[in-house]
Each structure stands twice: as structure tokens, then as C-alpha cells.
Structure 1
Amino acid sequence: MKMDNSPARGTRDLLPSAVATRDHVLATITEVYHRFGYQRIETPALEDITRLTGGQGGENEKLVFQVLRRGLPGTVEAGTPLAELVDLGLRFDLTVPLTRFYGNNQATLPLPFRSFQFGPVWRAERPQKGRYRQFYQCDIDLIGEPSVLAEVELIEATAQALAGVGLSGTTVRLSDRRFLSALAAAVGLAEETWSTFFIGLDKLDKIGWDGVRAELTGRDLPASSVDAARERIEALTGLSADKVADTLSDTVPSLDDSVVADLGTVAGCLDELSGLTWEFDPTLVRGMGYYTGQIFEVGHPSVPFSLAGGGRYDKLIGRTLGKDVPACGFSIGFERIVDMLGELPRKDSVAVLFESDVPLANVFRVAREVRSGGRTAAVQPRSGKFGAQLGRLEAAGFTSLIHLKADTEQPEERPLGK
């Protein structure tokens, strides 16, 4: 039987040029986050299955790759529950592992704790363009800070990180899950229907108000409530920083004063950041059910999807620790950013090509001199047709060539491709 050498479905191999772009993006983001005091941590790819399916990950829990217990026989009895066969799973994000990490290590961590994570995650997605079963996430989280210092810092740091990789002109969209709950209550929706309302509202940018209304009324939500929600939401759209607090109070009088004040503070701080555009978006929902406060996303005019998103999740760590700990996080869409940037311009890279009669010590001496100036040099024997080999070197990313022959006294460097 012929072996299939292609990657597993929904995964991919990455060529050196693609990895170079990814390394550049990661290095830039890392440098920015380090300037803000975030320290990198690592967590295992495998987590206990009960943690991954414990209600912290929303719809992503349906996409967990589950791992069979060790020592199972080759066949199992028909009707055996899956729970008896599985004990681990591949992580589907970096937030759920972070809550376990903090619970286990809190005694040795500073408070507040600024965490930076980068690593692969896995979801049993239906493979398609832009959706992979293995991909990388890049997260920062501020744990132990109850004030909106956390929200402002996370947004500023992430905006700078995106600008650092060349994505200027981004817009931050800001809202609050407590506002959404207060809005739903204010228009007369029963609490058990709120999640349905939020899910429908989250589709507004795709299907418009007529589509949202049709979907929600089709799920037995009162048309009068949906219309009232639309009226209030439209009154809150396009607010300047100095209008956010007063308009929120007027539109949803039942909203707690502290929520209004916090949104006003964050809006005021964002207004002072040069080069950053922001807007209060009353339709922003975000899918994760663990958010308890402010939520935010970053978009770019060139693409229809968000580049980063996050929010406050003050109850999530408590599920591990047994007591609530304030926490706020932001996740950058690493794969989306890399795809947007494409391949980077080639860096100066020298191929040191040598004939078989050239002493190897001489070859390495030349390469060493190139590297001493901070440049890349790779040694390679001459073989095959000269033109074909030069073509391969150029395709591999080399920008120039030093060709060593036995009678060469002073080797010269020349550019490739010319």
C-alpha cells in the first residue's frame, strides 16, 4: 500500500520562508509585550479532559481532540461510554490551561501577574481556507488586577504590537457583557432567553437587523423586545469618549453606575492614545461564555474579521482555585496576521559555494568572516549544472554568492538573480 506523505487533514507543513515571517511576527510581538512587563510562560498541550469539557470554553468544547486512556485493549465492549475510554485532550485555547497554571503556581507568582503565552492549539474544525485543526495562539493576560487599568493596558499593548508588525490603522471595538445583560433585561427579555439574544445579536454584521429580527422572533423572542433593543443600540452607536457614560445611563438606566464609570474611564484613556481609533460597539458579544465584564476586539479595514479579541473573566480562575480572582486577557489572531503580511523581504544571506579541490579549512574561514559581520552564510559544495544550482540557491532564499575555486586568491561576492 502506498503511504500518504501529505500532512494530516486540517494541518500543514511550513516552508522556511513562511517560518521566517512567523518568527519575525512573534519576535516583534514578544518585544512589545516584554516592554509592558509581560512574562512568557508555557503550559502542556495535553490537559485533563474534565477541565477541557467543564464549561469554560463555550462552543470550542465540541471541537476537542480527545485522547484514549493508556492500556486499553484492542477492542472494547459495545456500548462502553466514551467517558470511560478518554482521560486527556489537546488544548483548544490558552486561557483554560492558564487558569490551571495560575491555580497551581499562584503562591510563587507576583500579584498582579502579567502572563504572555504563545503556542499551538488544536480544534476539530471542518478544514477550509483560514481554518486549521492545528494553529498558534498568542495571548497576554493580567491576573489579580480588579480595576480597568488591566483593560487599558491590554488594549494599548496589543495595539502597539499590531502596529509593530506593520498593521497600522486598526480600530478597537469596546463593550461590556454586563451592559448586554442589562439591555436584555431592560427590553423585557426573560433571563433564560438572553443567550439566544446574544447569539442573534452577534450575527448583526453578517445578516443585518432584518436578519437578526427574523432569527430572534423565529426563536420565540418578542418582536417588541427586539425592536426596543435595536432602538437603544442605535442610540449608542458612534459615541465620542465624552458621551459614552451619559448616553449609557440614559439608554439603560438600570445599568450599574460602576459599569458606566469604568467604560467611560477606558474610553477616555483610549482617546488619548495617538494613532489608535476606537469605538463603543453595543453589538459586540464575543462567543466565550466566561466573560464577566468589558470585552473588546481589534479590526482592520482591509479584512472582514477581527485581528485580536479579549475581555475580563473574573470568575474563571475561581473554578480551579476555589475563590474568584480578577483577570483580563487579550488574544492576537496570530495566523490571520501572518497570512495578511505574506512573505517578508529576503534578508541578506550568502551562499559559500566551493569546488571539490578547495581545502575545507579555507571554505570555513571565508564563511566565518561573513558571519563575523552579523550576516548569514551557509557552506555548500558545487554540484550538478552551475546555473541550476544557482537557481536552487536563489529559491532557497540566498541573496548573494561567493564561489571558491582552488586558484581563487581573493574571493568575490556577487548577487544572485542578476
Structure 2
Amino acid sequence: MATVNPPRGMRDFLPADKARRERILSVIRQRYRAHGFDEIEAPVVEEYDRLHAGMGGDNEKLSFKILRRGLDAEAVRGAADDTAALSDLGLRYDLTVPLARFYASNRAQLPPVFRAIHIGPVWRAERPQKGRYRQFVQCDIDIIGDATVRAEAELITASLDAIDALGLEGGSVRINDRRILDWMLESFGFTEDERPGVLITIDKLDKIGVDGVAQELAERGAATGAIDAFRAFLTRPQTTQVLAYGREHVLRALPEGAPEELIDHVVSIGDAVAAARSAAASGTDAASDSDTTVPLVFDPFLVRGMGYYTGTIFELAHPSVNYSLGGGGRYDGMIGRFLGQQVPAVGFSIGFERIVDLVAANDDARESAIVIVHDADVPVAELLVHKAHLMRTGARVRLEKRTKNLKGLLERAQGDGFTGFVAVHAGDAPGLAEVKPLQAARS
């Protein structure tokens, strides 16, 4: 018999896997709602021109296009080399562009400062490989309408709270500002035209090292003096130290003469997050001025790949892995593309698929789920009475007719997420049979 698989880069989820994913999502939703965010839903398709308006960076090249309805063979032949001409819609490749459109469409019905939760699948025509899928779930929170550091601090605090609640304590956030990066590159001598390409190279620093970055910048045709200045800065002892938050750390990590307003911006975010985390940990209303560990790291070389970022950028890290678990930044210019007037906006996206792989299976977090293993001669009415009785306790209940291979039946039930079972015979009174744990029964 031939194997029938889902399309490449997409996956089926068996009941136990689906239940685990939903449990994780429920924790994330609950923590985000506790921080004052409200969940929205938007269509999975958007107009093609909106998805390809230069706001999605390289992701625009990976979008799935939807052909216009009513195309005839002549129209298809005439535009065979231009699929864009045949398309009027596309599947969303992220949640940020749809959110910007959503806000522009519904602004009159939303509060002046809107805190949004947006969770759902997105699609990219990636080359499928381990950990990279063509359909995956994104978990975003965004604050629209607040230009102050309060927005960044709220996003970071809520995201760290969410991963803490999932048992991933010890997470940290690397933070930088695109305006700081731009100032640094200017101070080194890179021209404005060179900077987009230079940023692409800097983003590879942790992979190819200082020499690799210098070589690639030379290959891009950057000025020798600018490359030398950048290399000298990269090899300073203080540049290579692990940095934390705080004015002294930020100043030490930057060339002399950095704009004070940008330093104040980054430091004030760290101060606000420190206050919130300290108060949450101690149950007090104010942060302690000492011995508070702040999960922020100022990283002057953090780039983030999306071209729409205009200010603060950040990435979520965890000591158990060497890759980011999410990130985001400020994108003040995007919503103005739809409204014709500027609206400040900043967002944070948790990498849900990566989180799922890290969160340990927690049997204590599972709902009570009981299998009624019954003899073949138990009347249907009796079975449904037993089922109703158990359901009144808040349990999820499944009926299974006893088989010769009872162990196999129980193993399958446990694999489906059930935690206990009850043996029922004809005439048994509901509620008297003992609920036995499936693990103990199998062993």
C-alpha cells in the first residue's frame, strides 16, 4: 500500500500532539491576556498588492500566490512568465502585515492604544528541512498607538512571563536599536547607500566571525577605511565582553559620541523591565535597586532581518539552545502605508514551533481524561450514564470496548493523552468503580 503523506513542508498532528500544542497555546494566551492584550483574528489571505508592497522583506519572495478566478487559457498563456499578473490574493507569510491592514480597517472601533494578540498559521514557500516548514504557527503581540518605551517594556515583560509560565525560566532578551546601528555605521565611515548591504553582513557576525565579516565587506566594495574602523571596534576588549543592561554597559559597548537620546531610550527600557520583573518576583509594588537580575542584554550588533524596523529591535534567547526563540521590534512606518498618516507600532513574536520542541511534556498540566473500558454486554444506556457521571467531575471521557489485548488498548489511550481508566461491567453502579492511572496499569 502506497504511503500518503501531507505536502512537503507541512505536517499532520495526531491527537496527543495537537492536545499538547493547544495546552501550550492556552498558557501563552492566558499570560498575554493577563497583561492586558486582546486577541484578534484576520483572514489567512490578503490582497496580493498589500503582501508585496515592500514591507515583508525577503518573505515576500516566499509567499504563496492565489490565481484570480475566471482566468481563461488565453490569459494564462499571455502571462505565463508573470505569475503576479495572474494573482490577486496571497496566503499571509507573517502576521505583522495583516495586523497593519486590520488596524487600518478597524481603527475607529479600537482604543487609542491597542494591544493585540494575533495567533495563527502562516505560509512560506520555503525549502523544507529540519525545523523549517511551509506552514507554521506564529504567536504575536503588538502595541499600536504608543510611541514611548512603555510599549517595548510591556511586550518584553509579557513575553518573558509567557515563557516562564511554560517552564522555560532563564530566558533573556537581546536588545538594540536600528537608529544606533545606523549611527555606528555612519561613524565608521560607511556611506548611506552601503548600509543595507553592510547590515546583511553584520547579521552573520556570530556565524563567520570578525575576519569573515571584514572579508565579505571588502567583497561588497566597502571603503577600506570603514572596514578597518569597524574591525578595530569589533576587536576591542570591551566589545567582546558579555554585556548586560544599564547605562555603563551600553556606553562601553558603543563608540564614543553615541547620541544621548538613543542611549536613554535603551536604558529606560531596561529599567522598566527590571522594575516589573522585580515586583513580580517579590510581590511588591516597586523594584529593588540592588541584586535584581535583569534578563536583558544590550547587543550593538543585533540586526534583525526585516526592513520595516525603525527603532528598537529584540530577540528572545534561552540558555538551552543556541538559536533565538522569537523577536520583534518597532515598525512605526508600516501602518502609515495603509492610513496615509503615521501610527507608532511595535511587536514581539514568539517562535511557537521552537517553543513546542523545548517545553517538556507535563502530565500534571493535562486535563483529567478517562477511558471507560466496558464489556460487550453493557447496555448503551448504562454506558452513557457512566460517561455522564464522570463528565460531571470535569473529566474528558472515551468509551472503549474491552479487547483481548487490554495492554495495547491502554497504551493507545495513553498515547492519545488519556490519564486513567475505569473497568465497567453490566449492572455496575456509576461512580463506584475505581479510576486507575494508565501508567500504573500498563506497567
TM tier, smaller: over 0.9
Within 5 A, what are the aligned runs for 1:282-293? 282-293=300-311
Within 5 A, what are the aligned runs for 1:203-222? 203-222=204-223
SS at match of 1:191: coil
Change (3 A) 1:177 1:373: same
Asked whether the equivalents of residues 352 and 402 of structure 1 are also in contact (C-alpha less than 8 Å), the reply is yes
* Aligned match of 1:310: 328
Matched, 1:413 2:435: yes
* Aligned match of 1:321: 339
SS at match of 1:60: helix
Q: How big is the shift at 1:264?
A: 2.0
SS at match of 1:105: helix
**Corresponding residue to 1:296 among 314, 327, 336:** 314
Q: How big is the shift at 1:268?
A: 2.3
Aligned partners of 1:161, 1:204: CA distance in 2, in Å?
29
Q: How big is the shift at 1:270?
A: 3.3
* Aligned match of 1:341: 359
Aligned partners of 2:407, 2:84: CA distance in 1, in Å?
61
Q: How big is the shift at 1:246?
A: 4.5
Asked whether the equivalents of residues 178 and 303 of structure 2 are also in contact (C-alpha less than 8 Å), the reply is yes
Aligned partners of 1:101, 1:79: CA distance in 2, in Å?
31
Q: How big is the shift at 1:165?
A: 0.6
TM-score, normalisation: structure 1: 0.93
Q: How big is the shift at 1:289?
A: 0.4
* Aligned match of 2:39: 40
Aligned partners of 2:62, 2:92: CA distance in 1, in Å?
10
Aligned partners of 2:308, 2:61: CA distance in 1, in Å?
16
* Aligned match of 2:380: 360
SS at match of 1:117: strand
**Aligned residues with identical type, % of pairs:** 43
Aligned partners of 1:116, 1:264: CA distance in 2, in Å?
26
Aligned partners of 1:376, 1:23: CA distance in 2, in Å?
15
Asked whether the equivalents of residues 214 and 231 of structure 2 are also in contact (C-alpha less than 8 Å), the reply is no
Return 309-318 or 340-349, whichever deviates more. 340-349
SS at match of 1:306: coil
Cα-Cα RMSD: 2.1
Change (3 A) 1:381 1:89: same
SS at match of 2:155: helix
**Corresponding residue to 2:246 among 241, 247, 250:** 241
SS at match of 2:354: helix
TM-score, normalisation: structure 2: 0.88
Asked whether the equivalents of residues 182 and 252 of structure 1 are also in contact (C-alpha less than 8 Å), the reply is no
Asked whether the equivalents of residues 171 and 277 of structure 1 are also in contact (C-alpha less than 8 Å), the reply is yes
Matched, 1:72 2:71: yes
Asked whether the equivalents of residues 325 and 350 of structure 2 are also in contact (C-alpha less than 8 Å), the reply is yes
Aligned partners of 2:386, 2:294: CA distance in 1, in Å?
48
Aligned partners of 1:37, 1:111: CA distance in 2, in Å?
14
Asked whether the equivalents of residues 183 and 252 of structure 1 are also in contact (C-alpha less than 8 Å), the reply is no
Change (3 A) 1:45 1:191: same
SS at match of 1:309: strand
Within 5 A, what are the aligned runs for 1:55-204? 55-74=54-73, 76-80=76-80, 81-204=82-205
Q: How big is the shift at 1:222?
A: 2.4
Aligned partners of 1:239, 1:277: CA distance in 2, in Å?
8
SS at match of 1:390: helix
SS at match of 1:128: coil
Q: How big is the shift at 1:214?
A: 1.0
SS at match of 1:373: coil
Q: How big is the shift at 1:20?
A: 1.8
Asked whether the equivalents of residues 17 and 343 of structure 1 are also in contact (C-alpha less than 8 Å), the reply is no
Q: How big is the shift at 1:257?
A: 3.3
Change (3 A) 1:403 1:324: same
- Contiguous gaps of at least 5 residues in structure 1: none
Aligned partners of 1:99, 1:305: CA distance in 2, in Å?
28
Q: How big is the shift at 1:354?
A: 1.7
Within 5 A, what are the aligned runs for 1:270-285? 270-272=273-275, 273-274=277-278, 276-285=294-303
Deviation track 1:288-341 (CA, whole Å, cap 9, x = no partner) reads 000111111111111111112011111111001101101111000011000112
Aligned partners of 2:155, 2:252: CA distance in 1, in Å?
25
Aligned partners of 2:39, 2:386: CA distance in 1, in Å?
38
Aligned partners of 2:20, 2:410: CA distance in 1, in Å?
24
Asked whether the equivalents of residues 241 and 267 of structure 1 are also in contact (C-alpha less than 8 Å), the reply is yes
For 2:84, the aligned partner's letter is: A
SS at match of 1:317: helix
Deviation track 1:54-81 (CA, whole Å, cap 9, x = no partner) reads 1001111110001111011256325543
Aligned partners of 2:113, 2:411: CA distance in 1, in Å?
54
Deviation track 1:371-402 (CA, whole Å, cap 9, x = no partner) reads 22222221223345444433433333333221
* Aligned match of 2:290: none
Return 183-192 or 218-227, whichever deviates more. 218-227
Change (3 A) 1:269 1:412: closer
Asked whether the equivalents of residues 19 and 417 of structure 2 are also in contact (C-alpha less than 8 Å), the reply is no
Counting matched residue pairs gives 415
Change (3 A) 1:412 1:169: closer
Asked whether the equivalents of residues 390 and 397 of structure 2 are also in contact (C-alpha less than 8 Å), the reply is yes
Change (3 A) 1:406 1:113: same
